Amino acid sequence: MSPALNEKPFAEELPAASAAGVILDGRYLPPPEDKDGKLWVRTSALVQADAQELYAMWHDVEAAPAWQEQISQVVTTGERISHWTMQSDEKTIEWDSEILADEPGRRIAWRSIGGESDNAGEVIFEEAPGGRGTIVTVLQEFRMGKLTSAWETFVGRNPKQAVIENLRHFKALAETGEIPRAKHQPHGDRGVIGKMKASTYGEKVPIPSGSN
């Protein structure tokens, strides 16, 4: 288990984060394994921006729909609480999210508190070796079952991949001010197989708006 995020965030307090949950006492820490009805994903990105700026961008939860796939709206409803709406085609799921830890410029941890999503996560911002930017590491946990099937059905992506893609969008938006996209370009007839493949490529999932 990574000390970056407690394996049972619903039952225990989060321990202090180590270096992005990837190194402990000079040793590499592998990501937590999927077990006991939980699914984990850890992913990282090297971003050319400073940690404070990236922290502020992540902390602005109401702006999350600009870079998180299929998040249609986030409303701050309390000092540490926000209400999240996720939409795909005609289906919508909603949940509340609570911030568990908030260290400006360094770390944010959260968990869902009721609603149709059962998740917890943490993001850590730290200077890359050699001052080559900021390493952003995200650790996200989902409960399997209802949630996973909801995510897979709704998102059209593997839930772990969705976390990876969201961090990719976050990095692109931070570095370039936009999120790259190739949908809605002209093309000839795709045929039956081509249309099916658009789904396997993840090209059916709408790309978040970025700065548009």
Contacts with 133 (C-beta within 8 Å, 6 or more apart), sequence order: 46, 47, 48, 49, 127
Applying CB under 8 A, the site for another protein has a residue count of 38
132 binds another protein per the rule CB under 8 A? yes
Q: How far is the CB of 58 from another protein (least distance, A)?
A: 18
Among 66-74, 84-92, 137-145, 188-196, the segment contacting another protein (CB under 8 A): 188-196
Contacts with another protein in 60-119 (CB under 8 A)? none
31 binds another protein per the rule CB under 8 A? no
129 binds another protein per the rule CB under 8 A? no
74 close to 61: Cβ distance less than 8 angstroms: yes
Coil, helix or strand at residue 127: strand
198 binds another protein per the rule CB under 8 A? yes
Q: Which of 136, 155, 164, 167 binds another protein (CB under 8 A)?
A: 164
**CA-CA-CA-CA torsion sign (58, 95, 4, 13):** positive
182 binds another protein per the rule CB under 8 A? yes
